[in-house]
Amino acid sequence: MLSVKGLKANVGDKEILKGVDLEIGSGEVHAIMGPNGSGKSTFAHVLSGREGYEVTAGAVRFEGRDLLELEPEERAHLGLFLAFQYPVELPGVNNTYFLKAALNAIRKARGEPELDAVSFLRLMKEKLKVLHLDDSLLKRPVNFGFSGGEKKRNEIFQMALLEPKLAILDETDSGLDIDALRIVADGVNALRSPERSVILVTHYQRLLDYVQPDYVHVLAHGRIIRSGGKDLALELEEKGYGWIAGEEAAA
Amino acid sequence: MSDSGFNLWLGAPGPQGDTRLDWLETKREAARARVLDGGIPTSKQEAWRYTSVKRLLEQGFVPADEPITALQPEDIEDVLIPGLEAHRVVLVNGRYLPGLSALGELPPGVRIGGLQQILKSDPDALRDRVNGVAGEEQPLFAALNTAGLDDGLVILLGRGAALTRPVELIHLSVGMDEPRVAQPRHIVAIEDGAQATLIERYLSLGQSLYCTNSVLEVSLGRDAVLRHQRVQDESPNAFHITGLYLSLGQGSRYRGVNVGLGAAWARTDIQVRFAGEHAECDLQGLYLAGDQQLMDYHLDVDHRLPHCTSRENFKGILYGKGRAVFDGRVYVAKDAQKTDAAMSNRNLLLSEGAEVDAKPQLEINADDVKCSHGTTVGQIEPEMLFYLRSRGITAAVARRMLCLGFAGEILDCLEPQPLRERVAEQVGHRLEHSPLT
C-alpha cells in the first residue's frame, strides 16, 4: 500500500529526514515511535503534502502512485488521511458543512455519487454513536473553541467518516486523558480492516495498550533505527530511548 | 456661480413633482447654494484623502426625473425574498411606486409610505424631519441629495408603537439611455418606546450604468429600538453613495448591519450622534471588493454625552484589484464619562493587486472611559488552507469556505433568516464567480 524508500527532507537548510525506508501492507498497523525532534511529525507532514518541507531524495509510492507529485487534496482523494497533532481552528466554518464538503469531495473524486443532506446526516449520526461523541460538536465552527480533547476526537470523527485507506495519526494521543484516549483508540480499532492501514506516530507507549500495532519502528535522527513487533514498544517504555540510541552509537 | 463639478445633478431650480411647499423649497435652495459654493472634493480634504471623485464626474449623470411606470409586479418577482414577510416599499430610480409596494395592514401609530405621498396628505409632517438629523451644514453629496429632494421612504412610529414585521425597502435601478442619478431621501423617526426593523436593499434590473445618492435620517426617541439591515447589491457598473445620519435618544438602541457587495464605486458615510444617555449603537459591516471595485467607508461616532455605548465591527474581503477605505473616527467629549466604545476593521486581502486603507481613530477627552480600536489586514492562513485540502477539498473551494467563514460573523447578524440566507447566498455566489487571488 505504502512504500517509502530513502526519503530525505529538509526544513529550510536543515536536513530532518535522513533516509527513511518503510513498507506498509494492507490491513497493517504500524507505530512510529521516537524521542522529540527525531523527525516523526516531519515524516507525517511530508506524506500528507504539507508545504514548508523540501524532499531532497527518495521516493514514496501509495496505491501505485507517486505520492510526492500529488496535491494534498489528491492524496486525500486516494485515501490518505492525517489526524493533526494540532488541529487547526476554522472560525466561521461550520463543522457539519465542512464534513459534508470533505466527504463529497472525496466521493466525487472516486466517481461515487455525492451524498444528499439526509443520507449524510444519517451517516454522521451512525459514526457519532460508534465513537460516543456528542452531536453538539457538529453545530460549532470547525475546532473553534474546542478543548484539546474535543479537537482530537473531532479528528478521529473525521477519520471515521472519510474512511481512509491509510490513516496517519500524528501524536493524537498527546495531551489526552484516559477517557479521550479510549475514544481515540476505539475509533482506530473500528476502522481496522484488511483493506485499511494505520500509522500511529507517538512518543509514548500508552496508546499501544489500546491499539495493538503489528509493527513498531523507532525513528531517531531522521532514520528508522530499529523495527520490531509490539514487544519493542514495551521494551522502549522500560528502558527509554537512550537504550537504542546507545546501542546504535556502540554499533 | 462656481462649478462644483456636480452642477448637472442639480437639474433646473424650482419645485420637484407637483407639490410645492415653502419650507421644503427653502431647504432645497439652501442646499443648492451650498453645492454651488462648495467646489469639487479633493484629496487635500481629509474625507477625500483616499478617494477621488474623478470617475464619478466623468459619467455626466443627470437627474433621474422620468417616472418609471412600465414595471409590473412580475418584473420584480426574482428580487423578492421568499418567506420574508414584510411591509414592502418599492422605489424605482428613487421614486415610490405604490403599485409594486405591499404595505399591508399597519398597526396604530405607524405611518409608512413614499415621501411625496406623505407630504400630499400632511404637508407639515416632515417639516422638522427633513435635515432634522443631518443638519443644514451638509457635505457635498448630502447637500446634492437635499437640493434634489423629491421622494423616498418615510417611516414614522408614534410613542410606544411596535412593528412586528420588518419594513423592507427595495430600491431598484433601471438603466436609461442617458446615465441617471437617483437621490432618494429616507426619513425614519421612531418615537419614545417604539420599535421597528428596517431592511434596505439596493438592487438593479440589468447591469447598467447609473448612480444612487441616498440619504437616510434616523431619529430614535427615548428607549426606542431600531434594527437596520442594509444590503447594497447594485449593478457592477453603478455608482452608489449613501449618507446615514443617526440620532439616538436616551436609552435607545440601534443595531445596524451594512453589507456592501455591488457597484463599481461605493461611498458610505455614517454619522452617529447621541442625543441622550445610556444609548447603544451597534454597527456591523461586511464588504467585498473585487476587480476595479471601490468600497469607501467613513464612520463618525460622536460621544458627546456620558454612559453611551458604541460598537463598530467592519470586515472586508478584497481580491483582484479591489480597493477599500475604512476611515472611522470615534470622538469622546470631555464630559462623556463612562463611554464604552470599540471600533474594529479587519480585512482579508487575497491578491497582491488589492488594497485597503484603514484609518481608525479615537479622540478621547474624558478620563473614565473604555475605548478600543483595532485594524488587521491579513491573508488566508496557509495552515487553514492546508487543513481543508488535507481533507480532500480543492484549494479553490477551500479558499471560498474560509472567506465565507470570515464573513460569517457579520452575516450571522442578519435577521430574519430568509434575509440572512439570501445575502449569504449572494456572497457565496460572488465568491464562486470571482478568482480569489
Concatenating the DSSP letter of every residue in A46-90 gives HHHT-TT-EEEEEEEEETTEEGGGS-HHHHHHHTEEEE-SSPPP-
**Sign of torsion over alpha carbons B404, B410, B413, B416:** negative
Compare CB distances from A76 to B381, B390, B397 and report the shortest one's residue. Answer: B390
pLDDT at position A237, please? Answer: 80
Residue A43's pLDDT is: 96
B428 touches chain A (CB under 8 A): no
- The one-letter amino acid code at B304 reads R
Is there a contact between A93 and B402 if contact means CB atoms under 8 Å apart? yes
Return the CA Rg of chain B. Answer: 21
pLDDT per residue of chain A (251 residues) written in tens, 0 to 9: 999 999 999 999 999 999 999 999 999 999 999 888 899 999 999 999 999 999 999 999 999 999 999 999 999 999 999 999 999 999 999 999 999 999 999 999 989 999 999 999 999 998 888 777 788 888 899 999 998 888 988 999 999 999 999 999 999 888 888 888 888 898 899 889 999 999 999 988 888 889 999 999 999 999 999 999 988 888 888 888 777 766 665 55
B11 part of contact set with chain A, CB < 8 Å: no
Mean pLDDT to the nearest integer, B331-358: 96
Closest CA–CA distance from residue A103 to any residue of chain B (Å): 8
Q: Which chain B residues touch A158 with a CB distance below 8 Å?
A: 391
Return the pLDDT at B417: 95
Residues paired with A8 in a beta bridge: A18, A57
| A82 interface with B at CB cutoff 8 Å | yes
**The C-alpha cell that represents B147 in the structure block:** 437640493
Residue B161 CB neighbours (<10 A): 21
pLDDT computed for residue B67 by the predictor:
79
Q: Is the dihedral angle over the CA atoms B43, B27, B169, B78 positive or is it negative?
A: negative
Is residue B32's pLDDT more than 70? yes
Q: How confident is the model at residue B16 (pLDDT cuts 50, 70, 90)?
A: low
B374-414 pLDDT per residue, tens: 999 999 999 999 999 999 999 999 999 999 999 999 999 99
Please tell me the distance from the alpha carbon of residue B430 to that of residue B437, in angstroms, as a whole number: 14
CA distance B412 to chain A (A): 10
In this structure, what C-alpha cell is assigned to residue A108?
A: 466525487
Contacts of B406 in chain A (CB under 8 A): 91-92
CATH T-level topology, domain A2-90+166-250: Rossmann fold (3.40.50)
Binary contact (A73, B382; C-beta < 8 A): no
Do the chains contact at B386 and A50, CB–CB below 8 Å?
A: yes
CA distance A76 to chain B (A): 5
pLDDT digits (tens, 9 = 90+) for B276-290: 999 999 999 999 999
More confident residue, B238 or A238: B238
Pick from A51, A93, A109: which is nearest to B392 by CB? A109
Which residue does chain A place closest to B396, by CA atoms? A73
Contact A73 B386 (CB under 8 A): no
How much is the average pLDDT of B206-222? 96
Nearest one of A145, A23, A168, A19 to A85, comparing CA atoms:
A168
d(CA B318, CA B293): 9
Give the DSSP per-residue string, B195-246. EEEEEEEEEEESS---EEEEEEEEEE-TT-EEEEEEEE---TT-EEEEEEEE
The answer, yes or no, to whether residue B1 has pLDDT greater than 50, is: no
Predicted TM-score of the model (pTM): 0.91
| B122-130: average pLDDT | 95
Mean pLDDT of B112-120: 95
Q: Model confidence at B4, in pLDDT bands (50, 70, 90)?
A: low
For chain B, what percent of residues have pLDDT higher than 90? 86
Average pLDDT, chain B: 94
User: What are the grid coordinates assigned to B153, written together?
Assistant: 421612504
pLDDT at B433: 85
